[in-house]
Amino acid sequence: MGQVLHRMAPIWVPALALVMAAGCGGRSSPVSPSLQPSPRPPSGPNPAAGPNSAAGPNSAAGPSQERPAPCAHTVSQAEQVPAALDAASPGTTLCFTGGDMSSTDVTMTHSGAPNRLITLRSDGVAVRSIHITADHVVIEGFTVAGGEGIFLNGDDLAIRHNTVHDTQRSGITCERCQNSIIDSNTVQHVDTVGIWIDGQRITVSHNKVSDTLARDNGDADGMRFFGSGHRITENTVTDISDRGYANPPHPDCFQTYDDNSPPTFDVLIAGNTCRNVGAQCLIATGDQRGNSGAPTGVPSITFVDNTCATNGAQAVNLRRWPNVEVRDNRISGPNVTRGIIIIDDSTGCVVIGNSTDGGRPTLDIDNSSKPGAHVEHNSPG
């Protein structure tokens, strides 16, 4: 297809991406019943600033950086948990160690302060679930199993080096969060979705998600994202199957949609590996409003340098979802018939430098999506 519009300067992230696949046409049932934009006023970098702005990718998301204080209190028994959490003040580090806490729900409802975070640090202690409805809190080193996973709602949060498995809902849910980090966690064998984010300026990096399960005729995905300013980088999503179900799910590595969701834009998904997942690497569907709340002239999603080796009919599926950049990804998989499909008024998309193995077409774009598109240097062309 001819070159109509080239909207963006070269991406900051180097190009490299592999395969995707799937026939996930439908919308997945959400993990969370209420997905609304954060009521807090925006802070930090302008969320409309794209990943190719003069300042480079948004790296400011996340908690105030400060060396954690020494342990103010050590928690070693389940019955000590409520009092220790109630007594925690800004700047406090609580250390969890030993003891049997596998039936314990860790619930934090009061906040730290900027540069005086409340840190809950564990040496691998198992708890049933973690619920944080507060700001300026760090959670690190826990094993979470059997309950509702890690649920977060707040500003300036950090979730690092935790293991979450065999939960009754998603692994890590960050709902109406801002300026937060989800980094270096392992999420395995959880319900519906490994990591779910919505809000503003959330960084999701270096996590490993695998073996998500579908329950009650639901879906099974790696990550879902809603909102603006997110950076989803260098994660690995593997081994999510659609087999063995009476009503098979449509597993995808990265998914967004606009049903009861905030507008999604300025989202960078870069340098991730998606492997042996039943459907697609990326699916974005605007079947309700076409993501119409997103600002014009701003990329909604920049999908670059990803390795996608999935099991569906295509790796990237855009339906009624305009203004997506798809660059320098490598696509492969046993069932791929084309690497990228763009349909139903998904206008203004940029598709450059992607490759699909086996000589199969890299791009299938319908006539309604060609206005404003820029396509070049894909292999096969």
Whether residue 147 sits in one domain with residue 290: no
What residues form DSSP beta bridges with 174? 152, 197
**Residue 297 burial (CB < 10 Å; 0-12/13-18/19+)?**
exposed
pLDDT band at 2 (very low <50, low <70, confident <90, very high): very low
What is this structure's pTM? 0.83
pLDDT for the residue numbered 65: 53
Residue 35 lies in a domain: no
DSSP string, 151-199: EEESBSEEEES-EEES-SS-SEEEEEEEEEEEES-EEES-BSEEEEEEE
Q: Are 231 and 58 in contact (CB under 8 A)?
A: yes
Residue 182 lies in a domain: yes
311-353 per-position pLDDT tens digit: 999 999 999 999 999 999 999 999 999 999 999 999 999 999 9
Residue 241 lies in a domain: no
Whether residue 337 sits in one domain with residue 220: no
Residue 261 lies in a domain: yes
pLDDT for the residue numbered 28: 40
Whether residue 109 sits in one domain with residue 224: yes
Q: Are 94 and 85 in contact (CB under 8 A)?
A: yes
11-50 per-position pLDDT tens digit: 333 333 333 333 333 334 333 323 233 333 333 333 333 3
pLDDT for the residue numbered 26: 39
pLDDT for the residue numbered 1: 38
3-state secondary structure of 86: helix
Whether residue 206 sits in one domain with residue 84: yes
149-191 per-position pLDDT tens digit: 999 999 999 999 999 999 998 999 999 999 999 999 999 999 9
Whether residue 254 sits in one domain with residue 205: no
Whether residue 105 sits in one domain with residue 10: no
Whether residue 173 sits in one domain with residue 264: no
Q: What share of the chain is helix, strand, coil (3-state, %, to 5)?
A: 5, 40, 55
Residue 203 lies in a domain: yes
Instruction: Check which CATH number belongs to the domain holding 181 and give it.
Output: 2.160.20.10
Q: Are 13 and 268 in contact (CB under 8 A)?
A: yes
Q: How many domains does the chain have?
A: 2
Q: Are 176 and 36 in contact (CB under 8 A)?
A: yes
Q: What is the phi/psi pair of residue 262, to 5°?
A: -70, 160
Whether residue 175 sits in one domain with residue 101: yes
Q: Choose the final residue of a domain: 180, 195, 228.
A: 228
Residues 20, 233, 201: CA angle, nearest 5 degrees: 120
Whether residue 161 sits in one domain with residue 261: no
Whether residue 94 sits in one domain with residue 208: yes
pLDDT for the residue numbered 259: 80
3-state secondary structure of 359: helix
Residue 67 lies in a domain: no
Those residues whose C-beta lies under 8 Å from the C-beta of residue 286, and which sit 6 or more positions away, are 257, 258, 292, 319, 320, 321
* DSSP run (H or E) holding 6: none
Residue 233 lies in a domain: no
Q: Are 287 and 27 in contact (CB under 8 A)?
A: yes
86-107 per-position pLDDT tens digit: 999 999 999 999 878 999 999 9
Mean pLDDT of 269-287: 96
Whether residue 269 sits in one domain with residue 365: yes
Residue 10, Cβ neighbours under 10 Å: how many?
A: 10
Dihedral of CA 225/11/339/237: which sign?
negative
Residue 238 lies in a domain: no
Whether residue 83 sits in one domain with residue 16: no
| Cα–Cα dist 160/142, whole Å | 9
Q: What is the phi/psi pair of residue 160, to 5°?
A: -135, 140
Domain that residue 286 falls in: 1-25+50-58+250-381
Q: Which amino acid is at 300?
A: S
109-152 per-position pLDDT tens digit: 999 999 999 999 999 999 999 999 999 999 999 999 999 999 99
What residues form DSSP beta bridges with 119? 93, 138
